[in-house]
Amino acid sequence: MPYAFERLALIEGVIARSPLGLITDVDGTISEIVPTPREARVSPLCRRYLTLLCRQLALVAVVSGRPAVEVRDMVGVTGVVYVGNHGLERWTKNRVEPSGSARDYFKIVRSAFEELSSRLSMEGVTLEDKGLSLTVHYRLSPHHEVAEREILDVLAASERARDLRVVRGRLALNLLPPVEINKGTAVLDLIRDYSLQGGLYLGDDLTDIDAFGAVRSAAAGSNFRGLAIGVTSAEMPEGLVKAADLTLNGVDDVGRFLKWLSQNVPQPS
């Protein structure tokens, strides 16, 4: 797959369009993957250029699997639109707004958390309650494949978790409400809400592939043009590069790309 810095002319064709938006994932894209979610920190270089780009673009948004309020606190850039829980909620007007029918699942998710908390007591496995979703992390397990199989067995036997859909992440399993909302639908909503004519999406995980597809589908039969940029790593999921239009090599490379973007995007008139 072409490397972004070797296809700058292609990118320039997209960023010349207006209104223009930049949408990015967080973990593994603007923040290095670390052993536990609490240890993650956004790259200072990425934060610096996201701040600048907020003054230059019609939209700068972050779409994350983390809760919207958590990702807002983590990124900490005024002017960014924060979408959390894989598109299930958005931080807006100083509060979290659930998306569509997702609001009906708070009690179901909480009930599943209470049941699974005792049943997932395996070495290196932790259960994270995100309000509208749960994430089972097994990065710290000594045997990743064994841990995943055992977790899936527990989920299959759980009456309370059975009503939730399981979505794989990087050494994690996400339990989400069974609604047609994901990072892809969130991207389409942002393109529509901000009347974007051009856009870039940066992501590194399986859940970002939905967003890559949304960038392509938005261009079908419309004036929108966009590029999906996959952020590569040693543990990137199978299919990520194939689904992307271009690639960048890790978080440091993303910071360098955001710097280039801030220096080359047409200045607002």
For residue 35, give the CATH number of its domain.
3.40.50.1000
Residue listed under structure tokens 């097994």: 138
Write the CB contacts of 150 (distance below 8 Å, at least 6 apart in sequence): 122
Considering 25, 204, 210, 245, which one is annotated as catalytic?
25
Mean pLDDT for all residues in the chain:
95
pLDDT at 269: 56
Q: Are residues 66 and 121 in the same domain?
A: no
Q: Are residues 203 and 219 in the same domain?
A: yes
Asked if residues 132 and 90 have their Cβ atoms less than 8 Å apart, the reply is: no
| Percent of the chain's residues with pLDDT above 70 | 99
Q: Are residues 138 and 9 in the same domain?
A: no
The pLDDT tens digits of the residues spanning 79-133 come to: 999 999 999 999 988 889 998 888 899 999 999 999 999 999 999 999 999 999 9
Asked whether the predicted pLDDT for residue 268 surpasses 70, the reply is no
Domain range holding 116?
102-176
Distance CA 59, CA 79 (A): 8
165, amino acid identity: R
3-state SS class at 226 = strand
pLDDT at 192: 96
Q: Are residues 88 and 189 in the same domain?
A: yes
| Average pLDDT rounded to a whole number, residues 5-30 | 97
pLDDT at 217: 95
Active site residue 25: yes
Q: Are residues 208 and 90 in the same domain?
A: yes
pLDDT at 94: 85
Distance CA 231, CA 72 (A): 21
The pLDDT tens digits of the residues spanning 142-195 come to: 999 999 999 999 999 999 898 899 999 989 999 999 999 999 999 999 999 999
Name beta bridge partners: 63: 83
Write down the pTM of the prediction. 0.94
The pLDDT tens digits of the residues spanning 36-56 come to: 989 999 999 999 999 999 999
